[in-house]
Amino acid sequence: MAIPISYNIRNLIVRKTTTLMTAAGIAITVAVLLTVLGLVAGLTTAFKTSGDPLHVLVLRKGGNAELTSLLTQEQFQIVKNFPGIAKDAHGQPLASLEVVSIINLAQPGNPDGSNVTLRGLSQAGIAMRHLKLAAGRWFLPGHREVVVGKAIAEKYAAAQLGKQLRFGKGYWTVVGVMDGGSSAFNSEVWADGPEVAADFNRPTTYSSALLQATDEIAAAALPNALQSDRRLNVTVLSEQQYYDAQTVSAAPIKFLGLFCCIIMGVGSCFAAMNTMYAAVARRAREIGTLRVLGFTRKSILFSFFVESLLLSLVGGALACLATFPLNHVNAALGNFVTFSETDFHFRIGPAVMLTGLLVSLLLGALGGLLPAWQAGKKEILSALREI
């Protein structure tokens, strides 16, 4: 017969100081893990939601970044008439020749400013990305106007509706704020393609082209068709592939974070073991009594093991509670593909929390096994005689 779980719960409550201290130790370890995983998940979401499965990105041969890529007007004329590219209501191909650069925006408290991606694009480019405006309107072709991402508007005092940004050869008026959901576009500044190209002295050499395929089959076929065209000499990726590659920027933080988690995990395992051994020692007589009542060695072993799991679960739950508010926190991370910062939210969702709870259970299991084994091994007589 199994010992009821309420017995373990009451035991944990009686020794609440020790329980809480041990659980807190586990909680801190798990909280570090959750924070790191939440950061990685947030950054991954930002890049994942930026890529559309129907979108295809054309870069210079061997290119892996829009920033260092080059694509001329002539190349674009060939590209945009390829079969498989979707058309808009007016029968024009959904293809956007874009120029991508970086600008530096000053922040209060950071006089050096941060780097932000500037994207010059056409009306087709705006239509393809289906972004909503949070305020204002889109820029007009031929005007020195910009639309800023939501994260940019929140962060930089100069990037407000009606104000002006200084970059390139002069001032640009902010006419709109776009809502990129959780995508990386929230950290970009958009303006009219030809205007940007002229300001950055590259009127004929843009950076890249974005195409919208008619369907998934065309999206899969387009890269091959474009790459094998000898007039072009380009590298073509699906937009999703392109953004996936950028999630690498979280790798150093992830590595360092997991490294710390593993070591801290070993430490809290020892701590849990200590607590459980003390529990077993203190309850020697109780164990003897249970045996006299007819509970088997196995059920006693199991009971102590469960108690250790419960203890660690309290820790895991505490960690989830403590890190949950991080979901509203913004973070920014730079990467060496765009050379600018991407803003994102921490994402401590169900999957991350479940991982945290499982890890805390693992710590409890590793810490509780040996003490529970010892509890199960105790002889009735000697256990009853222990003080």
Q: From the CB of 29, what's the least distance to other proteins, in Å? A: 7
Region of 24-32, 47-55, 86-94, 154-162 interacting with other proteins (CB under 8 A): 24-32
CB of 263 to other proteins, least distance (A): 4
Q: Which is nearer to other proteins, 84 or 364 (CB)?
A: 364
Between 161 and 362, CB nearer to other proteins:
362
The reply to whether 325 sits near other proteins by the rule CB under 8 A is no
Please list every residue from 155 through 174 that binds other proteins, using CB under 8 A: 169
Q: Least Å distance between CB 339 and other proteins?
A: 5
* Contact flag: residue 21 with other proteins (CB under 8 A): yes
Task: State in angstroms the smallest separation of the CB of 140 from other proteins.
Answer: 25
Where does this chain touch other proteins (CB under 8 A) — which range of 18-26, 83-91, 151-159, 181-189? 18-26
Q: Smallest gap, in angstroms, from Cβ of residue 62 to other proteins?
A: 5
Stretch that binds other proteins, among 97-105, 156-164, 287-295, 353-361 (CB under 8 A): 97-105
Nearer to other proteins, 62 or 109 (CB): 62
263 binds other proteins (CB under 8 A): yes
Number of residues interacting with other proteins: please give it, by CB under 8 A: 51
Q: Does 106 bind other proteins (CB under 8 A)?
A: no
What is the SS3 string spanning the chain? CCCCHHHHHHHHHHCHHHHHHHHHHHHHHHHHHHHHHHHHHHHHHHHHCCCCCCEEEEEECCCCCCCCCCEEHHHHHHHHCCCCECECCCCCECEEEEEEEEEEEEECCEEEEEEEEEEEECHHHHHHHCCEEEEECCCCCCCCEEEEEHHHHHHCCCCCCCCEEEECCEEEEEEEEEECCCCHHHHEEEEEHHHHHHHCCCCCEECEEEEEECCHHHHHHHHHHHHCCCCCCEEEEEHHHHHHHHHHHHHHHHHHHHHHHHHHHHHHHHHHHHHHHHHHHHCHHHHHHHHHCCCCHHHHHHHHHHHHHHHHHHHHHHHHHHHHHHHHCEEEEECCCCCCEEEEECCCCHHHHHHHHHHHHHHHHHHHHHHHHHHHHCCHHHHHHCC
Contact status: 373 vs other proteins (CB under 8 A): no
Contacts with other proteins by CB under 8 A lie at 17-18, 21-22, 24-25, 28-29, 31-32, 60-64, 67-68, 101-104, 112, 115, 169, 205, 249, 252-253, 256-257, 260, 263-264, 266-268, 270-271, 273-275, 277-278, 282, 331, 333-334, 336, 339-340, 387
